[in-house]
Structure formats: C-alpha cells, structure tokens
Amino acid sequence: MEIVSIVCSSRCLRVAYYPLGKLFSPALPVCSYSEERSQVEGSERMKRWLSRIIVVLVAGLATAYGADWAIFQLRGSPTSTVTVNRFLTVPLKGNKLEYDYLGSSDMPCSRSLFPQAGQSPCWQLRRNTNQTTTL
C-alpha cells in the first residue's frame, strides 16, 4: 500500500511517497526552489533584520544613557572645569572666514560619558579645546 503526503509551503506544492512503511521521500516539487524564495521574501527578511538591529541599538543606547545618568546622580553630580580657547568666526566676501581670538576661559563639564546637567562631558572638552562661535 502506498501513502501519499502533500506538503504545502508558502509558494510551492510538494508530493512525497512513503511505500510500505519505509521512509522514502523523493519530494517531487511542483515549483523550483528559486521560485519559493523570491526577491520579495529576501527583501522582507532584510527589513526584519534591519529593524531588529535598529531596535537593539536604540535599546542599548537608552540603557547606556540611563546607567550613565544613574551613576552621575549617585556620585553627587561630579563636575570639573577644562580650559578652552574661544574663537569668533566672521564670514567675509568670497566664502572666506576670519577667525578672531576671544581668549581662553574655563568651561564647566560633567564627569560622565554623555552630556549631563546641561554640561558637555569632560572627555569631549579635553579632546576639543578650540571652541568656535559663528557670527
């Protein structure tokens, strides 16, 4: 006696034969494998993976900022000062710029990874000691 099993996937119909209880399935496809996995399915998978990656990145950044804020508050809002050089940028004719030195000043900064309490992080001010203001 021969048992016929019909397997339906999303786009393809396959017929498998199981003769006399032995597991023998030649799986004769009605459509080819390339038709089953079309470009539409591939782009949908890509969109799903990209959306997952974006969600994980946003969740990771939110967690990092929350942890940074909690540590900043637990440490008593530590602040420091960094000496920066300030310049005024004045646009001139012909797409030229004039830089005027305004002097050096001490800028308050927060000892954290992200800006906290309206202050830039100290590591960022130490790396960028020249501050420009455009007129």
Domain boundaries, the chain: 1-37, 76-134
pLDDT tens per residue, range 1-29: 444 444 555 445 554 544 555 554 455 44
CB count within 10 Å of CB 88 equals 13
Tokens of 54: 């974006």
Tokens of 50: 């990209």
pLDDT tens per residue, range 40-51: 677 888 899 999
Name the pTM for this structure: 0.61
In which residue are the tokens 């455009």 written? 134
Q: Which of 86, 90, 82 is nearest to 119 (CA)?
A: 82
For residue 68, the model assigns a pLDDT of: 96
pLDDT tens per residue, range 101-117: 999 999 999 999 999 99
Q: How confident is the model at residue 74 (pLDDT cuts 50, 70, 90)?
A: very high
In which residue are the tokens 């008593």 written? 76
Tokens of 66: 């929350």
